[in-house]
């Protein structure tokens, strides 16, 4: 029995493993470590499908496993991170729940912070739609969950490393975070047609928007570091819209 058919699924499980660790770190407010494991999970997510195609061992099991792993790394993890950011953004009304096994311990949940978990719900809906949509082979309909996760994860990294009081105050504004969450949910499930980064050939004419995005990404990351990530996502959407118009 060939072992190669199990390799992509093992890589997918590494994605799930990293996503689970990211959630644990996010719960404990260690956003840097959470981000590292999110990045690792997305890295494995990219390579499991690539390996499956190269080894010619694609399977329905692999497709379903990939979505389940993405649900944690690119669904639950960014939702928890946004929940925590909204929690830190201000003093909000709180719900007090009593743990049945320890009546002396109160656990407080600010209702408004739960809006951050809308990202998890929107990601689940997006992944379910993707699994049954046969059209999304060469393009994406709506923002892919890994790209959306990078967008969310960039916020605490900008706060930590960009050293800008204005940007930090903006990101930690409760209404900004709520608006950002709702925009994220919309982008995930919108009908905006976004090009995939799969190259059928390496000619510039057929891939000009892909090359533009890749080169711009490298330049922006070098110049702006983590604050470049939201700009890159916006650029990706704009280039896709231009691509759609020129194709028509």
Q: 138-160 pLDDT, tens per residue?
A: 788 999 999 999 999 999 999 99
Write the pLDDT tens digit of every residue in 84-100.
Answer: 999 988 765 555 444 44
Q: pLDDT band at 28, cuts 50/70/90?
A: very high
Q: Please tell me the least confidently modeled range out of 10-14, 16-20, 129-133.
A: 129-133
Domain ranges of the chain: 4-191
Which comes out higher in pLDDT, residue 205 or 244?
244
Place of tokens 């930590």: 160
Asked whether the predicted pLDDT for residue 172 surpasses 50, the reply is yes
Asked whether the predicted pLDDT for residue 162 surpasses 90, the reply is no
- For the domain covering 4-191, report its CATH number: 1.20.120.1760
Q: What is the pLDDT of residue 101?
A: 47
Q: What is the pLDDT of residue 202?
A: 64
Q: What is the pLDDT of residue 6?
A: 78
Dihedral pair phi/psi, residue 98, rounded to 5°: -105, 125
Task: Name the residue among 62, 80, 82, 75 with its Cα closest to residue 125.
Answer: 75
Q: pLDDT band at 55, cuts 50/70/90?
A: confident
* Angle subtended at Cα 190 by Cα 184 and Cα 196, rounded to the nearest 5 degrees: 90
Asked whether the predicted pLDDT for residue 176 surpasses 90, the reply is yes
Task: Name the residue among 79, 89, 94 with its Cα closest to residue 27.
Answer: 79
- Tell me the C-alpha distance between 142 and 190, whole Å: 5
Write the pLDDT tens digit of every residue in 191-243.
Answer: 999 988 776 666 767 788 889 999 999 999 999 999 999 999 999 999 999 98
Contacts of 182 by beta carbon, 8 Å cutoff, 6+ apart: 118
Asked whether the predicted pLDDT for residue 105 surpasses 70, the reply is no
Q: What is the pLDDT of residue 228?
A: 95
- Tell me the C-alpha distance between 114 and 40, whole Å: 26
Which comes out higher in pLDDT, residue 63 or 221?
221
Asked whether the predicted pLDDT for residue 180 surpasses 80, the reply is yes
């Amino acid at each position: 029995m060939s072992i190669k058919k199990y390799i992509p699924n093992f890589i997918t499980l590494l994605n799930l493993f990293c996503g689970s660790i990211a959630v644990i770190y996010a719960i404990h407010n260690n956003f840097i470590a959470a981000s590292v494991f999110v990045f690792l999970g997305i890295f494995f997510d990219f390579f499991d499908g690539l390996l499956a195609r190269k080894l010619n061992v694609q399977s329905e099991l692999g497709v379903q496993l990939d979505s389940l792993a993405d649900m944690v790394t690119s669904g639950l993890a960014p939702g928890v991170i946004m929940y925590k950011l909204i929690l830190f953004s201000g003093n909000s009304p709180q719900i007090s729940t009593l743990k049945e096994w320890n009546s002396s311990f109160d656990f407080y949940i600010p209702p408004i912070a739960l809006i951050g978990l809308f990202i998890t719900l929107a990601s689940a809906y997006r992944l379910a739609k993707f699994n049954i949509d046969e059209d999304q082979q060469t393009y994406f309909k709506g923002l892919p969950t890994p790209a959306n996760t990078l967008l969310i994860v960039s916020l605490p990294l900008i706060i930590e490393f960009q050293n800008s009081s204005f940007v930090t105050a903006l990101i930690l504004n409760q209404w900004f975070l709520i608006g950002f969450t709702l925009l994220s949910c919309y982008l995930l499930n919108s009908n905006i047609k976004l090009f995939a980064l799969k190259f059928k050939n390496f000619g510039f004419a057929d891939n000009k928007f892909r090359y533009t995005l890749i080169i711009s990404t490298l330049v922006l990351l070098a110049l702006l570091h983590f604050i470049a990530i939201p700009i890159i996502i916006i650029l990706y959407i704009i280039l896709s819209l231009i691509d759609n118009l020129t194709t028509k």
